[in-house]
């Protein structure tokens, strides 16, 4: 258990370092709201699509054909999304429901979930975790676009407009565009892949600095109750339900462990970027990311301990 705690800390500590750097840079006026707005747009429209495209490009889609795992993850994600949205309707004002819902179901699987899977299960953990990568990206971005569009002041919420918003989402476009390259194993020219790699490497630090620059004690106090509620759903309620469902479905060992890590990951930094793009309450989105990242150091270890104690992983 101590080893998992230290590994979780090693993964989350750089995240906090970038968050606090954003707080510091905003405090000393080296960055301002205009920078945060422009940088968030850059992440959403350029660097994150590059990251997702390269991630799918390098994935082995032929090895990803494990129907039971993919089917269960899809169903469980949809159920978790529905529960989070339903709870948001009763828990928070209409204008914040999209942000609350996204924070409560969208995990940071590409960074923290996959890194913990690799730490626990080595190369096999990486390959099995990568099985879910494309599905995770497509599901999370599509569902987030839908729920944000319904409550966004700048996005029309009729079915056709929502469909167009989904299809025009740069993150979804990058995944769809990358799929043929990965399936047919088509490589990019070396210089183009290197340039794309430069852009991709900017994504997480830039997004986290923007989140840190948005944080303030006043904002945390203002959104603290809703942020904590969404975080508890994300880190305790839904992981318990999804992991129990996986156990009842028949998953054991590595597959059950990785499903728990994926459903128990803290809220993804992309949720802040999408919240800003939708003109939503990005302060609430930032607070949820910070709280769930703190909670992950505890909930991940407790969950792994209980699953190992029960002899299920």
Closest by CA position to 70, among listed 130, 142, 146: 130
**Paired strand residues for 267:** 107
105 in Cβ contact with 82 (< 8 Å): no
Give this prediction's pTM: 0.82
Is the pLDDT at 64 greater than 70, yes or no? Answer: no
Q: How far is CA 110 from CA 155, 222, 291, 313, in A?
A: 27, 30, 19, 21
Helix-helix angle 133-151:114-131, to 10 degrees: 100
For 83-134, the pLDDT digits (tens) are 999 999 998 899 999 999 999 999 988 667 877 777 777 766 666 776 676 7
Q: Where does 2-307 sit in CATH, by number?
A: 1.20.1530.20
The answer, yes or no, to whether residue 44 has pLDDT greater than 90, is: no
Would you say 212 and 19 are in contact if contact means Cβ atoms under 8 Å apart?
yes
Residues 266-294: what's their mean pLDDT?
89
Where are the chain's structural domains? 2-307
Q: How many Å apart are CA 25 and CA 309, to the nearest integer? A: 44
């Amino acid at each position: 258990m101590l080893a998992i705690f230290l590994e979780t800390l090693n993964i989350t500590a750089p995240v906090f370092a970038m968050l606090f750097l954003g707080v510091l840079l905003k405090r000393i006026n080296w960055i301002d709201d205009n920078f945060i707005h422009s940088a968030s747009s850059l992440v959403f429209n350029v660097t994150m699509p590059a990251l997702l495209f390269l991630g799918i490009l390098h994935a082995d889609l032929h090895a990803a054909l494990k129907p039971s795992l993919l089917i269960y993850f899809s169903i469980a994600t949809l159920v978790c999304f529905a529960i989070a949205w339903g709870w948001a309707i009763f828990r928070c004002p209409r204008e914040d429901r999209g942000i609350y819902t996204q924070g409560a179901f969208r995990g940071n699987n590409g960074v923290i979930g996959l890194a913990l899977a690799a730490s626990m299960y080595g190369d096999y953990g990486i390959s099995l975790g990568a099985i879910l990568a494309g599905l995770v990206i497509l599901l999370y971005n599509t569902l987030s676009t839908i729920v944000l569009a319904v409550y966004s002041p700048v996005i029309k919420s009729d079915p056709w407009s929502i469909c167009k918003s989904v299809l025009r989402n740069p993150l979804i476009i990058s995944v769809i565009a990358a799929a043929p390259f990965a399936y047919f194993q088509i490589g990019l020219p070396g210089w183009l892949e290197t340039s794309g790699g430069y852009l991709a490497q900017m994504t997480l630090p830039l997004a986290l600095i923007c989140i840190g620059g948005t944080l303030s004690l006043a904002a945390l106090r203002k959104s603290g109750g809703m942020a904590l509620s969404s975080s508890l759903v994300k880190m305790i309620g839904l992981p318990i339900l999804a992991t129990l469902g996986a156990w009842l479905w028949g998953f054991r060992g590595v597959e059950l462990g990785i499903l728990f890590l994926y459903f128990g990951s803290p809220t993804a930094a992309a949720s802040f970027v999408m919240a800003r793009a939708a003109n939503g309450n990005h302060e609430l989105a930032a607070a949820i990311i910070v709280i769930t990242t703190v909670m992950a150091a505890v909930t991940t270890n407790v969950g792994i301990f209980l699953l190992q104690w029960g002899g299920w992983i």
